[in-house]
Chains A and B, each alone.
Chain A
Amino acid sequence: MKIAVLSGKGGTGKTTVSTNLAKVMNWDYVDCDVEEPNGFIFLKPNVLKTKKVNVPIPKIDDEKCINCKKCVEICQFNALAGTNTGIILFEKLCHSCGACELVCPVDAITEEERSIGKIDIGQSEDIKCMRGVLDVGEPMAVPIIKELKSLIDEKPTIIDCSPGSSCSVVSAIEGVDYAVLVTEPTAFGLHDLKIAVSLVKEMKIPFGVIINRAEEENDLITRYCKEEGIYLLGKIAFDRKAAVLYSQGKLLIEDEVFRKGFEEIGRKIEGVKRCN
């Protein structure tokens, strides 16, 4: 059982929900928000193992190259440029498709490895925690996310995705059993929630919604969920205590009221799991 936690935009409390749920439900936690992985701040695991993530990129042998520019033409990502002084590789744009290597008539292209980030694996009490960390300035998160997901075992796992609906999110939620969409009761929150809803619907992933910083009973997100027949998993109250705990790098479940709230959401998710 894998559950992805996502949100249409950043700053809605996606990591708060993921980490607190992982802890109350005793599920493993995987941070796929590789550009800004914050979950470890709250779960504080002991990192036991770190591995580098590499991607293959072409290596051009200038001695062999006849400057035919076939590789430049075939590259769909503009990662190669051909000038009279030789072929220039823009490694950050390379998607490792291998087309240039195939098309080179004189076998001047071979593969080499390039590091784009790392994966940390650790333990926070009973929970296994993993996170991907993309090196600063690296544009491509997907290879790290794919590798992270390949490391997930059979244990129930919560996957913390990056905000938005980019290819990073798509690759993080691919193959999960259920999605938890986190939003806040504002017009922007609703707008971004709709984007997230259409994404999970398109990918045919069953889902429920959590409203963070909820102040009223019948806010605009609650009404939207009712109208659309979307399952509301729960609300996290707007409370100064939450901000204080967050700023101290603590989990909200250290507070009794919040703990009960998360436990309730956890039970609902377990219920969904049984239905599946």
Chain B
Amino acid sequence: MKICISSTGKEKNSIMDERFGRCQYFVIFDTETKEFKALENAGVTSAHGAGIAAGQQIVDEKVEVVITGHMGPNAMKVLQGGNIKVYKGQGKAIEEEIRLFQEGKLEEINQAGPAHFGMGNRARGSW
């Protein structure tokens, strides 16, 4: 089984990134081969639909479990379409998150958080 964690870095001791669509990297751990692999998040560079691009990338990697902080509704929809389960991580190192997941200590997220989490809000006047 492949587990994917949204990450601030490329290493197994990197810290998890709370954001899914706008994280820098995805670290993928294969429970069978015990191998780690890091991918750059395709969503970061896309002007539109970061969460969708990120979700698509994860679906294409045939991941079964995602550990992240917050996931927007669009990314959630893509992952649900790919039958991928999403768990709420605790913002620790990648290895630690995997251990917590395997011990059944992470909670599954079924509901998406607000869209555009972690992006600046656009203030706008009214007249």
Contacts and interface: CB of A to CB of B under 8 A. Distances in A.
Contact of B125 (A11, A79, A86, A246): A11
Interface centre among A16, A35, A83, A85 (most CB of B within 10 A): A83
A81 B60 CA distance: 10
Nearest to B73: A90
Nearest to B62: A84
A78 B46 contact: yes
Interface residues of A, number: 27
Contacts of B48: 76-79, 93
Contacts of B52: 78-79, 81, 90, 93
A72 B74 CA distance: 15
B81 A83 contact: yes
A82 B55 CA distance: 10
B125 to A, nearest CB: 3
A16 B125 CA distance: 13
Nearest to A41: B127
B46 A86 contact: no
A13 B127 contact: yes
Contacts of A86: 81
A112 to B, nearest CB: 19
A163 interface: yes
B82 A84 contact: yes
Contacts of B66: none
A23 interface: no
B124 interface: yes
Interface centre among B77, B83, B124 (most CB of A within 10 A): B124
Given A77-B49, A93-B52, A85 B81 contact: yes
Interface string B29-53: 0000000000000000010111011
Contact of A36 (B55, B59, B126): B126
A12 interface: yes
A105 interface: no
A1 interface: no
Nearest to A11: B125
Contacts of B125: 9-12, 163
Interface string B10-26: 00000000000000000
A83 B50 CA distance: 17
A222 interface: no
A14 interface: yes
A211 B62 CA distance: 58
A81 B78 contact: yes
A14 B127 contact: yes
A157 interface: no
Given A11-B125, A36-B126, 6 more contacts: A14-B127, A78-B53, A82-B59, A84-B81, A90-B77, A163-B124
Interface of B: 46, 48-50, 52-53, 55-56, 59, 74, 77-78, 81-83, 124-127
- Which 7 residue pairs spanning A and B have beta carbons closest together? A11-B125, A10-B125, A78-B49, A83-B81, A83-B82, A81-B78, A78-B52
